Structure 1
């Protein structure tokens, strides 16, 4: 009888320790998230399930998940960092006056026949009404530029709303992949 009680107690301790470890990992390191909508096509698709890492600061071109409203999380690509001047001109991204290629948009750009994929704008023409991305904020955009509610519409994203950076698609199984920043860095 004592042996059975000891074994039950060991199982309870193991389950409790496992639960504590799972809570710590999910709270401080990784968390699952759901992509809703088509704004990140073709990189991510509606209903993709992704793993988000909470480790480190988001870098330019990373795909981040942030709390847009109390009930809504958005998944978007970081374009501008604090202090950056962001501009689109003739479907080309310029950050601080330097031209940037966006290879993750190549497929969509080839398919567009009725104008640019990304219409020209400066930060002053967005809700920011500023020349630069404010400190403590990010300028984000969806890869599906014509169908994305992003910083062009809602303004810069406060860093404290960032949940983390998308690193892995794990569902559906046929779409499992590592998510990088799309520019080979």
Structure 2
């Protein structure tokens, strides 16, 4: 009798275990605000993979220390690096780095204007990241609240699942 009930309920138990496992490594997130426009828009839904090893230009979700609210930004500077912006150009440890995800946005700028104001040389601690929103003119990011400590990082944005016409995977 017990065996028959167990067999009957085994698909439900399996689905529940898979769902719990899914939530252990994947977090659903809703985009709030316009700081990542044009690459992410308000109310889009994302899956965030919980991970700690991040690369430059990964889009991450983290908890801001002051408000404890989740924020979505792009990793610009990695632990131990020195970054600066000059005339809208990113330099990392003295080397010029292209930001291809901003190309379309930069073409819409008025002549003699920049998307990213100059940022003086900034040394990033070995346990932190320097993050910026793609919509640099309105983004509240590391220029305001400082670097993001690794422990505050929830994970990396990996997949947009809503709206259906914008479904895509992030590298």
TM-score (norm 1): 0.84
Which residue among 16, 33, 56 is the counterpart of 2:13? 16
Which ranges of structure 1 fall in alignment gaps of 5 or more residues? 124-130, 181-185
Structure number having the greater strand percentage: 2
Which ranges of structure 2 fall in alignment gaps of 5 or more residues? none
| Structure 1 CA distance for aligned equivalents of residues 167 and 22 of structure 2 | 21
Deviation at 1:71, TM superposition (A): 4.8
- Stretch moving more, 164-173 or 46-55: 46-55
- Corresponding residue number in structure 2 for 1:178: 169
Deviation at 1:17, TM superposition (A): 3.4
* Structural mapping, 1:1-185, within 5 Å: 2=1, 6-27=3-24, 29-69=25-65, 71-113=68-110, 115-123=113-121, 131-180=122-171
Deviation at 1:35, TM superposition (A): 1.0
Report the secondary structure of 2:123's partner residue: coil
- Stretch moving more, 70-79 or 100-109: 70-79
Deviation at 1:60, TM superposition (A): 0.7
Write the deviation string for residues 18-65 of structure 1: whole angstroms up to 9, x where unpaired.
Answer: 2233212211x2121111111111111111101111145111110001
| Structure 2 CA distance for aligned equivalents of residues 21 and 144 of structure 1 | 37
Report the secondary structure of 2:7's partner residue: helix
| Structure 1 CA distance for aligned equivalents of residues 36 and 53 of structure 2 | 21
| Structure 2 CA distance for aligned equivalents of residues 7 and 53 of structure 1 | 37
Report the secondary structure of 1:147's partner residue: coil
Q: CA RMSD, aligned part only?
A: 1.7
| Structure 2 CA distance for aligned equivalents of residues 67 and 22 of structure 1 | 24
Deviation at 1:6, TM superposition (A): 4.8
Report the secondary structure of 2:137's partner residue: helix
Q: How many residues align?
A: 169
| Structure 2 CA distance for aligned equivalents of residues 54 and 11 of structure 1 | 33
- Stretch moving more, 75-84 or 109-118: 109-118
